Amino acid sequence: MGLLRFLKKISIDQWSAIDRETVRTPEDAGNTSITVLVILVTCALSLTLQEYFGGHAAYNRYFPNDGSRYWELWGFVWWSSWRVIGYVIIPMMVIAALPGERIRDYHVSIRGFFKHAWIYLLMFALILPAVVLASRTSSFRHTYPFYRMANRSQFDLWTWEALYAAQFLSLEFFFRGFLLQGLRRAMGSNAIFVMIVPYCMIHYGKPMSETLGAIGAGVILGTLAMRTRSIWGGVLIHVGVATTMDVLALRGCPEFGSGKYCH
């Protein structure tokens, strides 16, 4: 019974608190319907643009391999830039165009993050052992880091990590900021469960365990973002875990400057 009460406290009770914070009046009905329409259409448009123009296939199509030193790294610049465009720039333009909406209300405050940072640090500590165990598998070493030339030089490594971090920041703003705050007034805590549908789908093509894990992670990070009104904890978790995975993977790569690359 104690475990059930604890689970209720960190889930249903938190969603009820979000719903109590949600402002719903009859006068809002028309405005919230329009906002929901705009937010969801923007979501579909953004994800579609990234699927057809923001991947490596599009980069290869527009910029065939010319054998230059940084051609592969530029591919990740292309990929990360499209994440910033689709997840941040387009949504911010939409927010600015919506009457009465302010970008600063879309969970970009750091206040809630500092107050609840211990929760995210605890989550990271719980995730870390699983990451360490996974790093010992051959599939892990053949996958990470995604940029296989990260061990070529310090410039390659840290440029890649910066691009990777920018992608995670953009992703968190889109899913835990733009979608949740944009749908909050009309849907309350149900916005979390709308958000996890596209969030789960962007993981298609990855291992099934990772895709299923994204559902649970989406619910947890979405709940925390709505309660703290901050995306920065999710950014910390994503960047921290991703950097740790790359560092662990690099231990199995040839030495820096050896001329041999990871996987």
Q: Across residues 31-46, what is the average pLDDT?
A: 90
Instruction: Specify if 13 maps to a domain.
Output: yes
State yes or no: pLDDT of 153 exceeds 70. Answer: yes
Helix intervals (H) in 98-231: 111-115, 117-134, 138-141, 154-172, 180-187, 190-201, 208-228
pTM across the whole model: 0.89
Summary mean pLDDT of the chain:
91
Instruction: Specify if 261 maps to a domain.
Output: no
Report the DSSP beta bridge partners of residue 204. 206
Tell which residue, 260, 179, 183, 192, has the closest CA to residue 220. Answer: 192
pLDDT in tens, 121-137: 999 999 999 999 988 88
What region, left, alpha or beta, does residue 259 occupy, with left being phi > 0 and alpha being psi -120 to 50 degrees?
left
DSSP 251: T
Give the integer Cα–Cα distance in Å for 222 and 178: 11
Instruction: Specify if 69 maps to a domain.
Output: yes
pLDDT in tens, 174-185: 999 999 999 998
Q: What is the pLDDT of residue 55?
A: 95
Question: Which residue's structure tokens are 């969603």?
Answer: 15
Q: What is the pLDDT of residue 31?
A: 59
Q: What is the pLDDT of residue 39?
A: 97
Report the DSSP beta bridge partners of residue 108. 230
8 A C-beta contact, residue 163 and residue 145: no
Give the integer Cα–Cα distance in Å for 216 and 203: 13
3-state helix, strand, coil in the chain (%, to 5): 75, 0, 25
Instruction: Specify if 262 maps to a domain.
Output: no
Look up the domain containing 194 and give its range: 2-250
Instruction: Please tell me whether the peptide bond between 145 and the residue prior to it is cis, using omega within 30 degrees of 0.
Output: yes
Instruction: Specify if 178 maps to a domain.
Output: yes
pLDDT in tens, 47-81: 999 999 999 999 999 999 999 999 999 999 999 99
8 A C-beta contact, residue 160 and residue 150: yes
Instruction: Specify if 243 maps to a domain.
Output: yes
Instruction: Specify if 260 maps to a domain.
Output: no
Which of 6-15, 91-100, 253-262 is the most confident on average? 91-100
Instruction: Specify if 95 maps to a domain.
Output: yes
Q: What is the pLDDT of residue 8?
A: 81
User: 214 Cβ partners below 8 Å, 6+ apart?
Assistant: 196, 199, 200, 203
State yes or no: pLDDT of 143 exceeds 60. Answer: yes
Q: Across residues 234-238, what is the average pLDDT?
A: 95
Q: Which two three-digit tokens encode residue 67?
A: 């054998």
Where are the strands (E) in 6-123, listed by range?
Answer: none
Amino acid at 104: R
Number of domains in the chain: 1
